[in-house]
Amino acid sequence: MREAMAELDVGVVIVNYNTRELLRRCLQTVQASRGVTFEVCVVDNASEDGSAAMVEQEFPQVRLIRSPVNGGYAYGNNLGLRAFGFGEPGRTPRIRYALLLNPDTEVPPDALARMVAFMDAHPEAGAAGPKIVRPDGSLDLACRRSFPTPEVAFYRFSGLSRLFPKSPRFARYNLTFLDPDQTYEVDSVVGAFMMVRREAILQVGLLDESFFMYGEDLDWAYRIKQAGWKIYYYPEVVVLHVKRASSRMSPRARYEFNRAMWIFYRKHYQATTPAWLDLLVRVGLVLKGGWRLWREMRRDLRERREAPAFSASER
């Protein structure tokens, strides 16, 4: 589906790490897409399960990037975005939209075309995402979210959002009070299927590689909205997300999730948060993320205190 030098509608970036069979099925569904011009780039983050060899042998039309290390989701996506021409001064990418897609997703044949048509009809949209469902048909709650402000994060971590899922106040993080079958402007969609306009990426830049496996999509969405674009949840397109069967996170995943929330908070909210609330946020994250996260917080805060003196000495 590659057209030399021609502008394409979509550049699909799939970051893979040891999910060979899921990736195979994902690529089969993407390659069956119709009504749109596209190219697929798979970034393999140093898998050990033969994923890269499978792509090379079974999908020769797919661009394959073999990363020598597992640098995380943002790192891998940036490799793919750079392959399409983003992040290079003076170069205009030849894709109109970039699509971040998880290897554990399956897309209908018309999904890409319908998302492109929606974005074309909404020039104010910097990004959009579809309705994403789990194998049992339930909604993947991450597919439409509000930013985790200290207040929103408190409602989520305290369990109030689960106790009152229809409350516009308490359930803002996953927006469970909204009709899942209606189109809405939202703060963020999920990086499992996130279509982003070329001009928005050129304006805000690539993903922040400080995030390893969570939070990079929220941060990107925040920057896109800060730049004046809108982000939409578009449920006319439905995508399957084959996530882990258990809802329980591994200790590593729990740490990375809460670490991502710390990075997001530190980057976008901490400077304007009252000291008493900042303390509550940090205590809450440590309770969720453990002492390893506390050590990282202390290092970050120490570096921030030392930064002004270092900068001044360089003038």
Looking at the chain, which runs of residues are DSSP E strands? 8-16, 38-45, 63-67, 95-101, 105-106, 125-133, 184-185, 193-197, 230-241
Taking CA atoms, 186 is separated from 19, 130, 172, 215, in Å, by 30, 12, 10, 16
Both tokens assigned to 307: 């930064």
Find the range with the poorest average confidence among 57-61, 209-213, 290-294: 290-294
CATH for 8-145+186-241 (3.90.550.10, 3.40.50.2300, 3.40.50.40, 2.60.260.20): 3.90.550.10
> Tell me, what's the pLDDT at 304?
47
- Is the pLDDT at 183 greater than 70? The verdict is yes
Q: How many CB atoms lie within 10 A of CB 278?
A: 17
Identity at 23, one-letter amino acid code: L
Packing angle of the helix pair 51-58, 20-31 (nearest 10 deg): 30
pLDDT digits (tens, 9 = 90+) for 89-119: 878 899 999 999 999 999 999 999 999 999 9
Mean pLDDT for the chain overall = 89
- Is the pLDDT at 259 greater than 80? The verdict is yes
More confident residue, 282 or 312: 282
- Is the pLDDT at 15 greater than 60? The verdict is yes
> Domain residue spans in the chain?
8-145+186-241, 251-313
- Is the pLDDT at 61 greater than 60? The verdict is yes
